[in-house]
Structure 1
Amino acid sequence: MKRTLALALITTAIAAPALADVNIYSHRQPELIQPVLDAFTAKTGINVNTAYVEKGMVERLKAEGDRSPADLVMTVDIARLEEVVNAGVTQAVDDPTLTEAIPAPFRDADNHWFGLTSRARIVYASKDRVADGEVTTYEDLATEKWKGRICTRSFTSDYNVALTSAHLAHHGAEATKTWLEGLKANLAKKPEGNDRSQVKSIWAGECDISLGNTYYMGQMLADPEQTEWANSVRIIFPVFEDGGTHMNVSGVAMTKAAPNREDALKLMEFLVSDEAQQIYAQTNHEFPIKPGVARSELVQSWGEFTPDTLTLDTLAELRPEALKLIDEVDFDG
C-alpha cells in the first residue's frame, strides 16, 4: 500500500511540474502590463514576477551583477532603454520571432532592446477655448498667441526631454533654446504634476492646452474621477515644420544575468505576438508595434497622423544636449 502511494505521488509530480518563473524589473506601473503578463501565464503556465523599480534600476542591476534575479527589464522612453544597454547590464537576443515582428526603427541594431508599443506626444486642447486648426506645429507653441495658455509637467521628464531632443534634431541648438524660452514664457503656471494633471488644469480653466501622451486619454476615460477632465479636451497631433508627430516607445531588454533565459525569451516572443499586441492596444490604448495589429476603437477615433521619421537612436544621442538646454533656460524655475 505504501509503495502504491509513493508511485502515485511520483506520477502526480511528473504530470503537474512546478511552475517556472520569469522575473521583471519594470519602470512601467504594474497595472499597465499585468493584463498581458496574465495572458502569458495562462497560455504557458509560466509565472511572471514584477518588481516596480521607479528609480535606480541601472544601479541596482550593476550592484547585483551575475547574482541578479531579474531576467527582463521593461521600461518607457528610448533614453531609458539606451541607458540600460550602455550600462552593460543587458545581452543581445538574436531571435527571428522578434526581428520579424518588430520593424527595424523600433529595435536596437544590436538586438539589445526591442520596442513593444509606441505613443505620440500630442496636445490636449480645450474644446471650449481652442478652435479647430488653432494648433498645428510644435514650433507654434512658442509663439505669443499662446501667452499664459499652456500647462506642462516638468520639462526634465523623460517625455519632454525626448520631445526637446526631436526639436534639436530638426532645428539645431540655437533654435531649440529660443523655442524653449518661448514655450516657457507662454506657461500659465510653473511646471508640475503629470500629464493627466495638466488635463485637469485645462478642465479647471487654468490653461487652454497642454502636452501629453496619447494613451493617457484612454486611462482618464476609464477613471470615473477623471472622465470629466478627459471629456473637456480633444487630442491634436502637432507636427514639426519639416517632419511629423513626435513618437516614443515602451520596450523590453534581457538582462545580462537572466537566470531564466529560456522562459524569458518565451515571454519576449509572446509580447510581440498578435495576441499580446492586441491586449496592449485594447487595455492601454497604446499603438501596437507589430504591423497589422489594429488600434483600439478609441485610438482609431482620434484620427490618422503622420509620425516623425527621426530614429529613436537619434533621440537618445541628443538627450544630454537637450537636458543642457532645458537647464540653461531654467525651464522649470
Structure 2
Amino acid sequence: MESMDELELLARALPDARPPSDEVVARGRAKVAAARTRPRAGRLASRGSWVRRSWLWAGLATAAVVAVVVALAANLALAPAPVLAPQPSPKPGPNQAMLDLAARIEKLHEPPRRYWRTSRMFSNKTLNEQWVPRSAGDQTVLWRMGGGKCVWSFSRDQGGKYGDASVADFTMADLAALPAETEALERKLREYHRIWNERGFRDSFAEFAPVLGNMLYMPISPQVRAGVLRVLAGQPGTSVHGTAIDPLGREGLVVDLGREGGTVNDVPVRYRLFINLQNGAWQARVAYAVKGGRIVSYDATTVSGWTDVLPRIPKSCPRKG
C-alpha cells in the first residue's frame, strides 16, 4: 500500500482551509514525480541502500506537499477576512411619531357604555359638556357654562345621530361600524369627502385632512382612532412638530394637518393640533399668532370617554328647552 496521499496530508494539515486549487495540486504532484524519476548514476544499490532511498523519496514527497501546504497557509494568512459592511438603519419617516402612537393605542380596550361624554373648554371662557347616548331614542344632555352663566338641556335623539356633522352626518351606529383596517377606513373617509364635494366644496382629500382630524374626538374605538392617525400621517400636508404643552398644561403630540391659517380677532394665526399621548384622542386645537407665537385662542377637550352616569347639573343652571 502506498504512503498517505498528498491531498489527504494537505487536508489533515489544514482542516479549516479551503481545498487547494487544481493548479496548485498539479504543481505539487509534478515536483514529487520529478523527484522520483530523476536518473540515478552508478550501479544498483544494495537492498539497504534501496530502503534508505525509499525513505528519502518519501521524505522528499512529504516535504514537497508540506511546502505546498505552507505556501497555501501563507497565502490564506495574507488574504484579508471578509468584512460585512454595517447596514444603515432605515430612517424614520417624517410622521413616524403618529404611526408609533397608532401602534400603541390600537392595543387599548374601551368598551362602549350608555353615554359618550365630552367636556370642552374654549379659550378658558366657555365650558361645554355633552352626553350623547349610544342607543337611538335615549336623551342627549348638553350643559353649557360661560361668562358666569350656565344653561343645560335634554334633547330627544333623532335616529341616533351623533350631532357633529363636520365630517359626515354620522349616527352612533355609523361610527361603531367604521373599519379599523387603514386602507378600508381610508376608502370610507374618501366617500365622505366625495359627499362634501358634491355639496359644492372643491378641496382635495389632502385638504380635507384638517376636518378629518375632528374624528379624534368622536366616539370611535381605539382601533379606528389608530386607523385615522395612519390615514392623516400619510397625507402630504401633515407634519409632526414633536411634543409640547397645551394651554391646559398637558403634554401632547403637536401636528400640523395643513390647515390654512386665518385671523382670530384680526390677528394672523397658524393652527396646531395636540393629540393625547395616552389614547390618541383629540386634545386641543390651538391658534398661534404668526408673529411672536403667542396663543390667540384654543379649543381643548378636558374629558372624553364612555360613561353610564349622567351629570349632576347645578341647581343654579336653568333648563333650556
TM-score range, shorter chain: under 0.3
TM-score w.r.t. length of structure 2: 0.22
For normalisation by structure 1, the TM-score amounts to: 0.22
Q: Bigger radius of gyration, 1 or 2?
A: 2
Structure number with the higher strand fraction is 2
- Higher normalized contact order (CA 8 Å, seq sep 6+, divided by chain length): 1
